[in-house]
Amino acid sequence: MTKTLLRALAGETLPTPPIWMMRQAGRYLPEYRATRAKAGDFLSLCYTPDLAAEVTLQPIRRYGFDGAILFADILLLPQALGADLWFVTGEGPRLSTLTGPEGLGALKGKDDIHDHLAPVYETVRILSGELPADTTLIGFAGAPWTVATYMIAGRGTPDQGPAHALRQSDPATFDALMALITEATIEYLSLQVQAGAEVVKIFDSWAGSLKDEAFTTYALKPARRIVSELKRRHPGLPVIAFPRQAGDAYVGFAKATGADCLAIDNSVSPDWAARTLQPDSCIQGNLDPRHMVTGGQPLIDETRQIVQALKAGPHVFNLGHGITPDADPDNVQVMIDTVRGG
Ligand code: CP3
Distance in angstroms (rounded) separating the CA atoms of residues 85 and 181: 16
**Tens-digit pLDDT profile for residues 19-71:** 999 999 999 999 999 999 999 999 999 999 999 999 999 999 999 999 999 99
Residues shown for the chain: 342
What stretches in the chain show pLDDT beneath 70?
1, 342
pLDDT computed for residue 176 by the predictor: 98
pLDDT computed for residue 342 by the predictor: 64
pTM of the model: 0.97
Residues with a known catalytic role: 23, 27, 36, 73, 150
Output the CA 312–ligand 1 centroid distance in Å.
32
Residue of the nearest CA to atom 7 in ligand 1?
A: 73
Beta-sheet pairing, 92-95 with 85-88: antiparallel
Measured from CB, residues less than 6 Å from any atom of ligand 1 are 22-27, 36, 42, 69, 71-75, 92-93, 140, 156, 203, 205, 322
pLDDT computed for residue 89 by the predictor: 87
Please give the backbone phi and psi of residue 84, each rounded to the nearest 5 degrees, phi first.
-75, 145
The DSSP string of 237-258 is --EEEEETT-GGGGTTHHHHHT
**Distance from the Cα of residue 132 to its chain's centroid:** 22
pLDDT computed for residue 294 by the predictor: 98
Q: Domain ranges in the chain? A: 4-341
CA dihedral angle for residue 272, residue 139, residue 185, residue 37, rounded to 10 degrees: 110
Residue of the nearest CA to atom 31 in ligand 1?
A: 92
pLDDT computed for residue 291 by the predictor: 98
Residue of the nearest CA to atom 17 in ligand 1?
A: 74
pLDDT computed for residue 90 by the predictor: 87
Share of residues in the chain with pLDDT > 70 (%): 99
Q: Which fold has domain 4-341?
A: TIM Barrel (3.20.20)
